[in-house]
Structure 1
């Protein structure tokens, strides 16, 4: 481990200390494990980063955790960052109500905060379980992802798997994620996140040095995204219509088969079956797949004037407990486009038919009309 308590009760680290300084500490100081309080030894050498270690006879649970140097370095950086701002921070403090040891724990006023620095990809259900236990104990969980999980595919395009989707927040009407670049000692805020696919998203990344950045600034947001999601939507729709991909996943193959059995082709879905809803970034299914199913299963066979009910209960939840309903957002957009009209709580009346294009040129022309309408709606993605 890279940090331990010294004999004065001060949390200390060997991180980035000189060889001479470390040799001096071996002679002058005694160090203790933050978890079990047993005495530790200092190990250093040419082939290893200097660190604290338990003696062979120890049974401390921490001895078997096998945390990476990157993870420990990141926790130490965050500890120092918060400590410099005057926060009374505890590392790996055991929370009885949750039976967990968050990487960092501190209070701001009457709010208790647990920080988890997550460098490895873990299943979303584990994240959900740990997050819920914090909420149940009245603790705000702040998950910060390691820079090793930050994969930029283009200027505004990021890797966005189920792991990433499970670690998103919503502040100021925007979806956000937090990363820590340990080497550069920089916080990265991925802001204005919009879902592109099950593995990619678009975002405005903001970079801040820990030397000049404060904890409250984590929860601010850029006024506007530095990219046009509508332009991205247009390109994605054009790509879907004009480029055939044989090697798609099982979910998409099932969707194509579903359309085939309905007498439809996936390149000729209506433009309104691929609308950019705000919470797509935390929904596990591609937008054109679930929207097409909604139109075919709940809209197309109903006559004008019939009631359209939002009977599909899809709830996507962020870490800070924002409940998103992508289907409700989608129906709102259909309302803006004049296909439905709201008549009651959760009930809409069908006002206009949705036609499936019969050829590509017709589909592309429809895409342009829908695009022009969405551009005229300034808050369409909020």
Structure 2
């Protein structure tokens, strides 16, 4: 905690002090109180950790469930100073009685009120959503920034995401993006065009900017960047298929079992399955699995000239969802998503690559049936030709 109250009720912020001797004098002659619970707090001026206020061991403050690390305190202090240097009126550790929440930083900008949360430890979806809704209900726009230590990088454009990382995703006109801040490097990290490949892996474009080179407007609306090449997604998709046989999850086991019962081979699926679509992060089930289910239930039976409607596809999707074979993801920073978004995008993509042809509102005709390879050699060849032919069409989804 970087802010406490004096006995007279005035706020005392350590962000305003740089001199140790001065602070030691304050500590000798004053007592400080927690702004939330009103109990006495200790001013700690160590040499290892950032200077801060700390509750006594026996304290029972409602805000003390989340013990702050030096990394967290340093980050929110740097972000506060960053806002102040831009001439923005900001308040560090602002407690809002109306929603019983303490924002790391509250500020106003262009006649709007914001609550900035620098989150460095994992919290549940329920807590994240409760805080987000609390700010919104009080007329404040929440800005969640993930601590850099929580970003799990596995490769140049490959990251490991669990439920916690997904909470920070924001969907804007330029696609999915996520802000990250590292106080050790004093740098912002932006992930954009974030797309799931499996239940735990995502690919994304990554940009890094020094704090003093970044403005608030960039944080709120990052400049669009070129989407990552499709071959990066394809490479990870191939690795994901292989991992199904090594350490399959329960979901993957059920999926493999259904393929077995339908006498199909995971390694010989048509290249049209597992395609990235913009709304894929709304689904916890990876594109490879939910698109294959649609193929098994509907698309594999279609011949040239057969007609299908979006309602047919939606019904098949909903049945799988009711069986808990397709699950949705909670995205607190996004407006409620209609599950039809991902379905519509997939159908539109199949239309764009010439598999389907739109003949009326919500009705499509099969033009080019899915090609089912009979050997690994055929699958590799058909996949290579498919992506060489439709690379630009697939990636244009993320640039519109």
After superposition, residues 101-250 of structure 1 pair within 5 angstroms as: 101-225=102-226, 227-228=228-229, 230-239=230-239, 245-250=245-250
Distance 1:100-1:64 versus aligned 2 partners, 3 A rule: closer
SS at match of 2:154: coil
SS at match of 1:355: coil
Asked whether 1:90 is paired with 2:107, we answer no
Q: Give the match for residue 321 of structure 2.
A: none
Q: Give the match for residue 290 of structure 2.
A: 290
Q: Choose which of 312, 333, 341 in structure 2 pairs with 1:319.
A: 333
Compute the displacement of 1:65 (Å).
4.6
Deviations 1:223-279 (A, max 9, x none): 433741x11133235446678732221111111001111111111111001212223
Distance 1:261-1:145 versus aligned 2 partners, 3 A rule: same
Distance 1:252 1:213 in 2: 42
**Contact 2:107–2:113 (CA<8 Å) still a contact in 1?**
yes
Distance 1:249-1:352 versus aligned 2 partners, 3 A rule: same
Asked whether 1:334 is paired with 2:350, we answer yes
Compute the displacement of 1:120 (Å).
1.3
**Contact 1:35–1:92 (CA<8 Å) still a contact in 2?**
no
Q: Give the match for residue 381 of structure 1.
A: 398
SS at match of 1:61: coil
Distance 1:246 1:351 in 2: 37
Q: Give the match for residue 356 of structure 1.
A: 372
Aligned length: 381
Distance 2:299 2:286 in 1: 19
Distance 1:266-1:84 versus aligned 2 partners, 3 A rule: same
Distance 1:240 1:63 in 2: 41
Structure 2: which 5+ runs fail to align?
319-326
Distance 1:231 1:74 in 2: 36
SS at match of 1:113: strand
Distance 1:347-1:136 versus aligned 2 partners, 3 A rule: farther
Compute the displacement of 1:164 (Å).
1.3
RMSD: 3.2
**Higher deviation after alignment, 99-108 or 40-49:** 40-49
The TM-score normalised by the length of structure 2 is 0.82
Structure 1: which 5+ runs fail to align?
none
Q: Give the match for residue 258 of structure 1.
A: 258
Distance 1:356 1:119 in 2: 46
